[in-house]
Amino acid sequence: MPIHPTAIVDPSAQIDETAVIGPFCVIGADVTIGAHTGLKAHVFVEGPTTIGQENIFYPYSTVGVAPQDLKYHGERAETHIGNRNKIREFVTIHRGTTGGGLLTSIGSDNLLMAYSHVAHDVRLGSHCVLANGVTLAGHVVIGDWAVIGAFTGVHQFCRIGKHSMVGGYSVITQDVMPFATTVSKRENSVFGANATGLERRGFDAVAIEHLQNALRILTRANLNTSQAIARIEEEIPPTEEIADLLAFIRSSERGVIK
Protein backbone atom coordinates (compact mmCIF):
# COMPACT_ATOMS: atom_id res chain seq x y z
CA MET A 1 0.00 0.00 0.00
CA PRO A 2 1.64 3.30 -1.06
CA ILE A 3 0.26 5.21 1.96
CA HIS A 4 0.25 3.28 5.21
CA PRO A 5 -3.04 3.47 7.12
CA THR A 6 -1.30 4.93 10.18
CA ALA A 7 0.16 7.87 8.20
CA ILE A 8 -1.47 11.29 8.49
CA VAL A 9 -1.60 13.09 5.14
CA ASP A 10 -3.13 16.54 4.61
CA PRO A 11 -5.73 16.50 1.82
CA SER A 12 -3.88 19.27 -0.01
CA ALA A 13 -0.65 17.26 -0.25
CA GLN A 14 0.20 16.07 -3.76
CA ILE A 15 1.76 12.62 -3.58
CA ASP A 16 2.69 10.67 -6.69
CA GLU A 17 0.91 7.33 -6.89
CA THR A 18 4.26 5.52 -6.95
CA ALA A 19 5.55 7.21 -3.78
CA VAL A 20 5.52 5.18 -0.56
CA ILE A 21 4.51 6.77 2.73
CA GLY A 22 5.37 4.46 5.61
CA PRO A 23 3.91 3.96 9.07
CA PHE A 24 3.26 6.97 11.30
CA CYS A 25 4.52 9.56 8.84
CA VAL A 26 2.95 13.04 8.96
CA ILE A 27 2.63 14.99 5.70
CA GLY A 28 1.38 18.55 6.07
CA ALA A 29 -0.41 20.95 3.76
CA ASP A 30 1.22 22.18 0.57
CA VAL A 31 3.66 19.28 0.27
CA THR A 32 4.51 17.72 -3.10
CA ILE A 33 6.25 14.34 -3.25
CA GLY A 34 7.51 12.94 -6.56
CA ALA A 35 7.58 9.51 -8.13
CA HIS A 36 9.18 6.56 -6.35
CA THR A 37 10.15 8.62 -3.31
CA GLY A 38 9.87 6.66 -0.07
CA LEU A 39 9.32 7.73 3.53
CA LYS A 40 10.15 4.69 5.64
CA ALA A 41 8.43 5.55 8.94
CA HIS A 42 7.90 8.39 11.42
CA VAL A 43 8.97 11.07 8.91
CA PHE A 44 7.53 14.57 9.47
CA VAL A 45 7.16 16.94 6.50
CA GLU A 46 5.69 20.46 6.61
CA GLY A 47 4.90 22.62 3.61
CA PRO A 48 5.45 24.43 1.48
CA THR A 49 7.86 21.66 0.52
CA THR A 50 8.61 20.14 -2.87
CA ILE A 51 10.37 16.78 -2.96
CA GLY A 52 11.47 15.22 -6.26
CA GLN A 53 11.80 11.65 -7.42
CA GLU A 54 13.46 8.53 -5.99
CA ASN A 55 14.42 10.06 -2.66
CA ILE A 56 14.49 7.95 0.47
CA PHE A 57 13.78 9.37 3.94
CA TYR A 58 14.70 7.24 6.93
CA PRO A 59 12.83 7.22 10.26
CA TYR A 60 12.53 10.36 12.37
CA SER A 61 13.83 12.76 9.74
CA THR A 62 12.12 16.17 9.80
CA VAL A 63 11.70 18.26 6.66
CA GLY A 64 10.47 21.79 6.00
CA VAL A 65 9.76 22.84 9.56
CA ALA A 66 10.07 26.41 10.84
CA PRO A 67 13.62 27.77 11.13
CA GLN A 68 15.41 28.36 14.41
CA ASP A 69 15.76 32.04 13.56
CA LEU A 70 14.21 34.50 16.01
CA LYS A 71 13.56 36.90 13.12
CA TYR A 72 11.18 34.40 11.54
CA HIS A 73 7.53 35.18 12.22
CA GLY A 74 5.67 32.67 10.11
CA GLU A 75 6.31 34.12 6.64
CA ARG A 76 5.62 31.75 3.76
CA ALA A 77 8.96 30.09 3.06
CA GLU A 78 9.77 26.95 1.15
CA THR A 79 11.94 23.86 1.06
CA HIS A 80 12.97 22.28 -2.24
CA ILE A 81 14.62 18.85 -2.48
CA GLY A 82 15.76 17.32 -5.77
CA ASN A 83 16.05 13.68 -6.80
CA ARG A 84 17.71 10.50 -5.51
CA ASN A 85 18.77 11.90 -2.15
CA LYS A 86 19.26 9.67 0.88
CA ILE A 87 18.12 11.38 4.09
CA ARG A 88 19.09 9.28 7.10
CA GLU A 89 17.73 9.02 10.62
CA PHE A 90 17.04 12.19 12.65
CA VAL A 91 18.16 14.59 9.91
CA THR A 92 16.58 18.05 10.30
CA ILE A 93 15.93 20.33 7.32
CA HIS A 94 14.44 23.79 7.97
CA ARG A 95 12.64 26.06 5.52
CA GLY A 96 13.92 29.49 4.48
CA THR A 97 13.54 33.00 5.88
CA THR A 98 13.01 36.47 4.47
CA GLY A 99 16.71 37.24 4.91
CA GLY A 100 17.71 34.33 2.67
CA GLY A 101 15.19 34.44 -0.12
CA LEU A 102 12.56 32.36 1.70
CA LEU A 103 14.05 29.12 0.38
CA THR A 104 16.14 26.21 1.61
CA SER A 105 17.24 24.03 -1.30
CA ILE A 106 18.91 20.65 -1.65
CA GLY A 107 20.01 19.34 -5.04
CA SER A 108 20.17 15.71 -6.15
CA ASP A 109 22.16 12.57 -5.35
CA ASN A 110 23.20 13.69 -1.88
CA LEU A 111 23.74 11.58 1.23
CA LEU A 112 22.80 13.24 4.51
CA MET A 113 23.89 10.90 7.27
CA ALA A 114 22.18 10.53 10.64
CA TYR A 115 21.71 13.60 12.84
CA SER A 116 22.98 16.09 10.27
CA HIS A 117 21.26 19.50 10.22
CA VAL A 118 20.44 21.77 7.29
CA ALA A 119 19.41 25.17 8.62
CA HIS A 120 17.30 27.88 7.02
CA ASP A 121 18.29 29.27 3.63
CA VAL A 122 21.03 26.72 3.03
CA ARG A 123 21.85 25.99 -0.61
CA LEU A 124 23.18 22.45 -0.79
CA GLY A 125 24.34 21.36 -4.24
CA SER A 126 24.35 17.85 -5.71
CA HIS A 127 26.47 14.73 -5.11
CA CYS A 128 27.45 15.94 -1.64
CA VAL A 129 27.99 13.94 1.55
CA LEU A 130 27.21 15.29 5.00
CA ALA A 131 28.55 12.76 7.49
CA ASN A 132 26.99 12.04 10.87
CA GLY A 133 26.25 15.10 12.99
CA VAL A 134 27.31 17.74 10.44
CA THR A 135 25.66 21.07 11.26
CA LEU A 136 25.09 23.68 8.55
CA ALA A 137 24.06 27.04 9.98
CA GLY A 138 21.78 29.46 8.17
CA HIS A 139 22.64 30.76 4.69
CA VAL A 140 25.49 28.26 4.14
CA VAL A 141 26.23 27.42 0.51
CA ILE A 142 27.69 24.00 -0.39
CA GLY A 143 29.08 23.35 -3.87
CA ASP A 144 28.59 20.14 -5.83
CA TRP A 145 30.56 17.02 -4.84
CA ALA A 146 31.65 18.44 -1.47
CA VAL A 147 32.25 16.00 1.39
CA ILE A 148 31.96 17.21 4.99
CA GLY A 149 33.29 14.97 7.76
CA ALA A 150 31.43 13.92 10.88
CA PHE A 151 30.46 16.44 13.57
CA THR A 152 31.74 19.42 11.63
CA GLY A 153 30.02 22.75 12.26
CA VAL A 154 29.80 25.33 9.47
CA HIS A 155 29.18 28.95 10.54
CA GLN A 156 26.36 30.94 8.99
CA PHE A 157 26.98 32.53 5.58
CA CYS A 158 30.08 30.41 4.93
CA ARG A 159 30.62 28.71 1.58
CA ILE A 160 32.06 25.25 0.99
CA GLY A 161 33.54 25.08 -2.52
CA LYS A 162 32.81 22.34 -5.03
CA HIS A 163 34.86 19.13 -4.97
CA SER A 164 36.27 20.02 -1.54
CA MET A 165 36.63 17.79 1.49
CA VAL A 166 36.36 18.96 5.10
CA GLY A 167 37.81 16.67 7.75
CA GLY A 168 35.71 15.49 10.66
CA TYR A 169 35.24 17.54 13.84
CA SER A 170 36.19 20.76 12.06
CA VAL A 171 34.92 24.23 12.96
CA ILE A 172 34.43 26.21 9.75
CA THR A 173 34.15 29.97 10.21
CA GLN A 174 35.44 31.07 6.78
CA ASP A 175 34.91 29.91 3.21
CA VAL A 176 36.45 26.57 2.21
CA MET A 177 38.20 26.73 -1.15
CA PRO A 178 36.97 24.48 -3.96
CA PHE A 179 39.08 21.39 -4.74
CA ALA A 180 40.85 21.69 -1.36
CA THR A 181 41.15 19.42 1.65
CA THR A 182 40.53 21.39 4.85
CA VAL A 183 40.53 20.38 8.50
CA SER A 184 40.64 22.16 11.85
CA LYS A 185 43.87 21.99 13.83
CA ARG A 186 43.81 19.20 16.37
CA GLU A 187 45.79 19.36 19.62
CA ASN A 188 45.14 16.15 21.52
CA SER A 189 47.55 15.52 24.39
CA VAL A 190 48.23 12.95 27.07
CA PHE A 191 48.18 14.29 30.64
CA GLY A 192 49.51 11.24 32.46
CA ALA A 193 48.07 7.99 33.75
CA ASN A 194 44.40 7.60 34.63
CA ALA A 195 45.43 7.40 38.29
CA THR A 196 42.01 7.82 39.89
CA GLY A 197 40.38 5.23 37.63
CA LEU A 198 43.22 2.77 38.14
CA GLU A 199 43.03 3.19 41.94
CA ARG A 200 39.29 2.51 41.87
CA ARG A 201 39.90 -0.69 39.90
CA GLY A 202 42.44 -2.03 42.41
CA PHE A 203 45.77 -1.19 40.79
CA ASP A 204 48.41 -0.66 43.46
CA ALA A 205 50.40 2.53 43.89
CA VAL A 206 53.62 1.01 42.52
CA ALA A 207 51.98 -0.07 39.26
CA ILE A 208 50.46 3.38 38.83
CA GLU A 209 53.81 5.06 39.52
CA HIS A 210 55.51 2.94 36.87
CA LEU A 211 52.81 3.89 34.34
CA GLN A 212 53.16 7.57 35.23
CA ASN A 213 56.91 7.37 34.67
CA ALA A 214 56.49 5.54 31.35
CA LEU A 215 53.94 8.06 30.08
CA ARG A 216 56.19 10.91 31.19
CA ILE A 217 58.99 9.48 29.05
CA LEU A 218 56.63 9.08 26.09
CA THR A 219 55.21 12.59 26.25
CA ARG A 220 57.77 14.88 27.87
CA ALA A 221 61.26 13.55 27.20
CA ASN A 222 61.54 15.02 23.68
CA LEU A 223 62.11 11.56 22.23
CA ASN A 224 60.53 9.95 19.22
CA THR A 225 58.34 6.93 19.94
CA SER A 226 61.03 4.33 19.23
CA GLN A 227 63.53 6.13 21.45
CA ALA A 228 60.94 6.48 24.22
CA ILE A 229 60.11 2.75 24.09
CA ALA A 230 63.79 1.87 24.34
CA ARG A 231 64.23 4.16 27.35
CA ILE A 232 61.13 2.74 29.07
CA GLU A 233 62.44 -0.79 28.60
CA GLU A 234 65.76 0.30 30.07
CA GLU A 235 64.45 2.29 33.06
CA ILE A 236 60.98 1.01 34.01
CA PRO A 237 60.42 -2.44 35.57
CA PRO A 238 58.72 -4.84 33.11
CA THR A 239 55.32 -5.06 34.80
CA GLU A 240 52.23 -6.48 33.12
CA GLU A 241 50.83 -2.96 32.66
CA ILE A 242 54.01 -1.67 31.05
CA ALA A 243 54.06 -4.66 28.71
CA ASP A 244 50.43 -3.95 27.72
CA LEU A 245 51.24 -0.28 27.12
CA LEU A 246 54.23 -1.02 24.89
CA ALA A 247 52.42 -3.78 22.98
CA PHE A 248 49.58 -1.35 22.26
CA ILE A 249 52.00 1.30 20.96
CA ARG A 250 53.88 -1.17 18.78
CA SER A 251 50.66 -2.48 17.21
CA SER A 252 49.33 0.99 16.33
CA GLU A 253 48.79 1.57 12.63
CA ARG A 254 47.82 5.24 12.95
CA GLY A 255 50.28 6.35 15.62
CA VAL A 256 49.40 7.19 19.22
CA ILE A 257 48.43 10.51 20.76
CA LYS A 258 51.30 11.99 22.76
Active site residues: 120-121, 138
3-state secondary structure 38-87: EECCCCEECCCEEECCCCEECCCCEEEECCCCCCCCCCCCEEEECCCCEE
**DSSP assignment of 113-177:** -TT-EE-TT-EE-SS-EE-TT-EE-TT-EE-TT-EE-TT-EE-TT-EE-TT-EE-TT-EE-SPBP
Tell me, what amino acid is at 161? Answer: G
Among residues 167, 218, 215, which one has the least CA distance to residue 193? 215
**3-state class (DSSP) for residue 202:** coil
Q: Quote the radius of gyration of the chain (alpha carbons, Å).
A: 25
**All residues at 6 or more sequence positions from 3 whose CB lies less than 8 Å from its CB, including other chains:** 9, 15, 20, 21
Residue 190's Cα: distance from chain center in Å?
A: 26
Phi, psi of 196 (to 5 degrees): -60, -45
Phi, psi of 51 (to 5 degrees): -120, 130
**Helix or strand run (H / E) with residue 232:** helix 225-235
